[in-house]
Amino acid sequence: MNPIQLSVEPSTEPKVTKPLLHSQERLELAQQAGNIGTFEWNIQTNEVVWTKEHETLYGLPTGDLQGDVQLLLDCVHPEDLNNLQEAFTVSAEQGTDLELEYRVIWPDQTTRFLLSKAKVYVDQENRPERMIGVTMDITERKELERRKDEFISIASHELKTPIASLKGYNQILQQYLKKNTDPKLKEYIDKMDGQINRISQLVGSLLDVSKLQENKLELNKECFSIDDLIKELAEDIQQIVDTHTIRLALNCNCEIEADKFRTGQVITNLINNAIKYSPKAHDVVIRSEIKNNYVQVSVEDFGVGITKKYQKLIFNRFFQINTKIRGSFFGLGLGLYISSEIIRRHGGRIWVESVKGKGSTFYFRLPIKAKK
Amino acid sequence: MTKILVCDDDQGISEVIRIMLESEGHQVLTLPNGKGIIRRIQEYQPDIFFVDIWMPGIDGKEIIKLLRSDPQTATLPIIIISALDNIAEISKSCGATDYLPKPFEMDHLFGLVKKYS
């Protein structure tokens, strides 16, 4: 008999299960350290099991609470409950991944922000069978985000006050110099006013972004002619731009129900971009037309253009394309993000068609009748 | 000529408003804060009162509350000045007559004075 064999035989089982045990331990440790809870919901039998971390996250006493979904639902913030139930139902019915942020209220009445992510697994007949997911506490991240937004909000407010004084003094100077005959003086003061307006707009952009992040951007809808608005804004810009001619082909002839100030902001942003990114061209063309229940506005330039891979990204926050000539294009990279959010919140759509080196055409559509 | 009182802790803004309005022939008094504001208003008898919303000590909202509860100043045109974004809402909710957002165009200021003189 081989003594080695003897000693090997009994150890076969632990050899297999030891790595498994270790893996289980590692998982538990990771879950505890990361304060991550896992859950499994049998969609067909409506049974739920979860790890004890899940109870901690919801503020429940840890113990034998398995299976009672109501216990969890009772902890969810009343304002988030409908949204949560709908998200789980949609995900379970359609088999789509779930990613959801919501609040729970702990027994000591503190509010915590949770994030749940889950996948749905189907049975042999391709019906959604189980949902397995993780839940984690994101309260700290939320708090940091809130403080960042609050900071931007306060900073923009604080910046606006000295800008207001600066603009005021400059306007007083303009008044004084009305009688002065030196044309250079007037020119420089006017340029200064232009620069003050620019910094004022930049600060305004920062404030808009913080409002978008906090979901506080409100639309004040009214009825107005989109063609008249385009004409008005194009004339304003043409007055201070002598490198480009803005050509108009406006065929809407109708009133739309939208936020006039915010819509104007989008049009101005697109015209200014068209001029900025076509330094060697001389034309910008704005068109408007009716497409079913929408008005469609386009702004075409014959400038540097945008390669395909950047065409979606340019609507993201803080995104700017890095090019060799980047240095000549100033800006915060917020304009198109703000524009796309304004259009989206109206129930419209914004997009771009472009050929690198040939030029770009930016389009947006707004519903003629405001969506409720 | 209109008698105007301006109360703002930002001296730049106060001075800008004073110079602009004096150039139009109005009489302007500026105050750096709301200390003793009721007495100052009774003495000066302004036709229009410009007041900043955020000020150390007694702030714009409290001043308006005090003025509105006094029959002598209940209908005084009060215009709030602020860089806050929701100035229109604040103006409505605190009982102000109108508002001037910072930064502003000179013609906007003149327009408000003309409207409430």
B115 Cβ contact list (under 8 Å, min separation 6): B98
Q: Give the nearest partner residue to A164 out of B13, B84, B85, using CB atoms.
A: B13
Tell me what pLDDT residue A49 has.
86
Residues in chain A with CB shorter than 8 Å from the CB of B13 are: 161, 164-165, 168
List strands edge to edge, sheet with B27-31. Answer: B27-31, B3-7, B48-52, B78-82, B98-101
Contact B85 A200 (CB under 8 A): no
* CA distance linking residue A173 with residue A160, whole number of Å: 20
Q: Which residues of B touch A167 (CB under 8 A)?
A: 103-104
Packed helices B106-116 and A139-176: angle between N→C axes, nearest 10 degrees: 80
What pLDDT, on a 0 to 100 scale, did the predictor assign at position B19? 95
CB pairs under 8 A between A and B: 55
**What parts of chain A have a pLDDT lower than 70?**
1-17, 64-67, 318, 320-331, 371-372
Chain A positions in Cβ-Cβ contact with residue B102 (cut-off 8 Å)? 160-161, 163-164
Name chain B contacts of A162, Cβ cutoff 8 Å. 12
Burial level of B60, CB count in 10 A (0-12/13-18/19+)? buried
Count of CA atoms in the C-beta half-sphere (13 A) of A140: 3
For residue B51, give the H/E element and its range.
strand B48-52
Facing residue for A160 by CB, picked from B23, B83, B105: B83
Q: Across the interface, which of B15, B17, B103 has its CB nearest the CB of A160?
A: B103
Choosing among B102, B104, B107, which should be mutated to test the A contact, i.e. which has the most A CBs within 10 A? B102
Give the closest residue to A51 by CA, choosing from A43, A62, A59: A62
Predicted pLDDT at A12: 46
- Given an 8 Å threshold on Cβ–Cβ distance, is B20 in contact with A207? no
Q: Do B12 and A168 touch (CB under 8 A)?
A: yes
Q: Is A42 helix (H, G, I), strand (E, B) or coil?
A: strand
Instruction: Name which of A160, A172, A207 is nearest B102 (Cβ-Cβ).
Output: A160
Q: Write out chain A residues lying below 8 Å of B53, CB-based.
A: none
Q: Quick check: A174 and A190 in contact, CB under 8 A?
A: yes
- The tens digit of pLDDT for each residue in A326-346 reads 444 556 778 898 999 999 999
**Diameter over CA atoms, chain B:** 33
Taking the whole predicted model, whether its pTM rises above 0.95 is answered as no
Tokens of B24: 């139009």
Binding-face residues of B in 19-58 toward A, CB within 8 A: 19-20, 23
Q: Which two tokens stand for residue A331?
A: 């800006």
All residue ranges of chain B with pLDDT < 50 are none
Residues 208-247 of A with CB under 8 A from B: 211
- B16 close to A (CB below 8 A): yes
Smallest CA–CA distance, residue B9 to chain A, in Å, is: 11
Both structure tokens of A73: 């639902």
**Residue (of A363, A291, A357) closest to A325 by Cα position:** A357
Both tokens of residue A330?
């100033």
Q: How far apart are CA A362 and CA A278, in angstroms?
A: 14
- Three-state secondary-structure class, residue B45: coil
Q: How does strand B27-31 pair with strand B3-7?
A: parallel
Chain A residue numbers touching B108 (CB-CB < 8 A): none
Q: Does the distance separating the beta carbons of B102 and A164 come in below 8 Å?
A: yes
* pLDDT value for A7: 39
CA of A349: how far to CAs of A100, A219, A296, in Å? 25, 16, 9
Query: Where would I find the beta strands (DSSP E) of chain A?
Result: 36-42, 47-50, 98-105, 111-122, 128-137, 221-225, 245-250, 255-259, 283-291, 294-301, 349-355, 359-367
H or E element that contains A9: helix A3-34
Residue of A nearest to B108 (CA): A168
Of B12, B17, B19, the CB nearest to A162: B12
CA angle B40, B42, B46 (to 5 degrees): 85
Residue A4: predicted pLDDT:
40
Interface of B with A in 52-111 (CB under 8 A): 83-85, 102-106
Nearest by Cα to A342 from A277, A234, A268, A254: A268
Tell me the chain B residues in contact with residue A169 when contact means C-beta distances shorter than 8 Å. Answer: 12, 16
Of A165, A200, A207, nearest to B13 by CB-CB distance is: A165
Q: Between chains, do A161 and B23 touch, taking CB under 8 Å as contact?
A: no
Q: A163 vs A156, A192, B24, B53, CA distance in Å?
A: 10, 12, 23, 17
Token pair for A33: 């350290």
Q: For residue A371, what pLDDT is reported?
A: 61
In which region does residue A63 sit, left (phi positive, over 0), alpha (psi from -120 to 50) or beta (all else)? left
What is each CA distance from A177 to A84, A246, B93, B103, in whole angstroms? 64, 32, 41, 21
**DSSP code at position B9:** S
